[in-house]
């Protein structure tokens, strides 16, 4: 998905007219922050990224528009397995450099460089950038998010948890906090810290009850705990909301794990 999407985006981005204003402006910053939040809400629908690009351009500031393109390319580069397409990261770095040509010292632009190094696995380079930026601001949401990501990509549970707590405190709005909870739940699930994964997913879904993806993750966490009754309960809840393919796969796995003969399970499976 990542490389294919980047290949589709790059030709249009080359032709995209940039704002004439060569410096950072207040209007450009406001549009930039809105666009960053839009990119962070991306869930595999390319329209989200196109909307973000339009928002970045609407600010009328060339450096913030270029930085916005870079941030968009980073998000577009993510593959299904969690890796990042190198061609997308390379292109993102070039757009960051365009932004830095006239505005080399803006933290919200330079933090993208840290993300690029992190997703490349160049952790020493990322550490240098993060340490430099922390000298400028110790309480910035996006810088905290980069720190959290830095440790998450290295599968460091303790440090990721520490920076998650800092990032939540500096979050600017409720959607950011909800995304952080879901993301931290994903991390705990990947690392097998299932009790904490369930806490994160349940907190997130409390404020987003129609999010069948979150309900499915709760079901998966119970399944990995071998708590098949609870896994089944949430799996059936998901399938009532949406014919979600991963939930159908989990349903099939549950059928193999649990005896389908009689009882509650038998009724649910139509036996």
Contact 261, 271 (CB under 8 A): yes
Show Cβ contacts of residue 249 under 8 Å, excluding neighbours closer than 6 positions: none
Show Cβ contacts of residue 100 under 8 Å, excluding neighbours closer than 6 positions: 63, 109, 110
* Whole-number pLDDT of residue 259: 67
The H-or-E segment that residue 176 falls in is helix 174-191
The verdict on pTM exceeding 0.85 is yes
Give the Cα separation of 247 and 257 in Å (integer): 15
pLDDT in tens, the chain (271 residues): 789 999 999 999 999 999 999 999 999 999 999 999 999 999 889 999 999 999 999 999 999 999 999 999 999 999 999 999 999 999 999 999 999 999 999 999 999 999 999 999 999 999 999 999 999 998 999 999 999 999 999 999 999 999 999 999 999 899 999 999 999 999 999 999 999 999 999 999 988 899 999 999 999 999 999 999 999 999 999 999 999 999 999 999 999 988 655 445 555 554 4
Give the Cα separation of 166 and 148 in Å (integer): 9
- 3-class secondary structure, 34: helix
> Taking Cα atoms as reference points, which of 70, 69, 66 lies closest to residue 19?
66
Q: For the domain 173-271, what is the CATH code?
A: 1.25.40.10
Give the Cα separation of 176 and 166 in Å (integer): 13
The H-or-E segment that residue 106 falls in is none
The segment(s) of the chain belonging to CATH 1.25.40.10 are 173-271
């Amino acid at each position: 998905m990542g490389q294919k999407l980047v290949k589709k985006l790059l030709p249009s981005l080359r032709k995209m007219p940039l704002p004439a204003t060569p410096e950072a402006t207040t209007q450009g910053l406001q549009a930039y922050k809105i666009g960053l939040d839009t990119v962070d809400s991306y869930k595999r629908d390319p329209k989200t990224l196109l909307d973000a690009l339009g928002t970045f351009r609407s600010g009328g500031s060339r450096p913030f528009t270029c930085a916005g393109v870079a941030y968009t390319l980073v998000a577009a580069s993510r593959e299904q397995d969690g890796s990042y397409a190198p061609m997308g990261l390379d292109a993102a770095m070039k757009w960051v450099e365009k932004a830095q040509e006239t505005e080399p010292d803006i933290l919200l632009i330079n933090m993208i460089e840290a993300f690029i190094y992190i997703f490349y696995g160049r952790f020493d380079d990322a550490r240098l950038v993060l340490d430099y930026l922390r000298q400028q601001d110790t309480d910035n949401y996006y810088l905290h998010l980069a720190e959290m990501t830095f440790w998450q990509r290295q599968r460091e549970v303790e440090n990721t948890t520490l920076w998650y707590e800092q990032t939540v405190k500096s979050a600017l709005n409720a959607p950011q906090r909800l995304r952080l909870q879901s993301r931290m739940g994903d991390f705990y699930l990947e690392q097998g810290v299932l009790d904490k994964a369930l806490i994160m997913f349940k907190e997130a879904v409390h404020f987003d009850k129609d999010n069948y993806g979150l309900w499915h993750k709760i079901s998966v966490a119970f399944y990995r705990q071998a708590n098949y009754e609870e896994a089944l309960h949430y799996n059936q809840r998901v399938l009532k909301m949406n014919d979600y393919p991963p939930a159908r796969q989990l349903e099939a796995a549950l059928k193999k794990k649990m005896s389908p003969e009689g009882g509650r399970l038998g009724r649910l499976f139509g036996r």
